[in-house]
Amino acid sequence: MIDFLKLLLNIISKKEVYGVVVTFAVAYFIYRTVSIILEEVINYGKNNYEKKKRKTITKLFKNVAKYIILIIAVLTILSIYGVNVAGMVAGLGITATIIGLALQDTFKDIINGINIIVENYFIVGDYVEYAGFTGEVTEFGLKSTKIKNANGEVKIVANRNIMEIKNLSQETQAILINIPLPYEEDVEKMENIINKNILPKIAEIQNVHPKSVTYLGINELADSCIKYLIKYECERETQWQAKRDANRIIITELNKKHVSIPYQQLEVHNEK
Give the fold, CATH level 3, of 172-256: Alpha-Beta Plaits (3.30.70)
Whether the Cβ atoms of residue 248 and residue 201 lie closer than 8 Å to each other: no
Q: Do domains 121-167 and 172-256 have the same CATH topology?
A: no
> Coil, strand, or helix at residue 261?
coil
Is pLDDT larger for residue 84 or for residue 124?
A: 124
Does residue 267 surpass a pLDDT of 70?
no
Is pLDDT larger for residue 18 or for residue 151?
A: 151
Q: What's the CATH code, domain 121-167?
A: 2.30.30.60
pLDDT at 200: 95
Total-model pTM: 0.48
Task: Kindly report the average pLDDT of the chain as a whole number.
Answer: 78
pLDDT at 102: 47
Q: Domain ranges in the chain?
A: 2-91, 121-167, 172-256
- CA angle centred on 208, ends 202 and 211, rounded to 5°: 80
Closest to 171 (Cα-Cα) out of 120, 235, 122: 235
Distance CA 127, CA 242 (A): 15
Q: Render 148-170 in DSSP notation, one character per residue.
A: E-TTS-EEEEEGGGGGGEEESSS
Distance CA 122, CA 126 (A): 6
Tell me how far CA of residue 49 lies from CA of 2, 54, 91, 225, in angstroms. Answer: 63, 9, 46, 43
Confidence of residue 254 (pLDDT cuts 50, 70, 90): very high
pLDDT at 197: 94
Distance CA 203, CA 175 (A): 13
Distance CA 169, CA 186 (A): 40
Amino acid identity at 238: T
Distance CA 43, CA 50 (A): 10
Tell me how far CA of residue 231 lies from CA of 13, 15, 209, 253, 260, in angstroms. Answer: 76, 73, 11, 17, 21
Task: Say which residues have a Cβ less than 8 Å from residue 258's Cβ, sequence separation at least 6.
Answer: none
Does residue 151 surpass a pLDDT of 50?
yes
pLDDT tens for 181-221 read 999 999 999 999 999 999 999 999 988 999 999 999 999 99
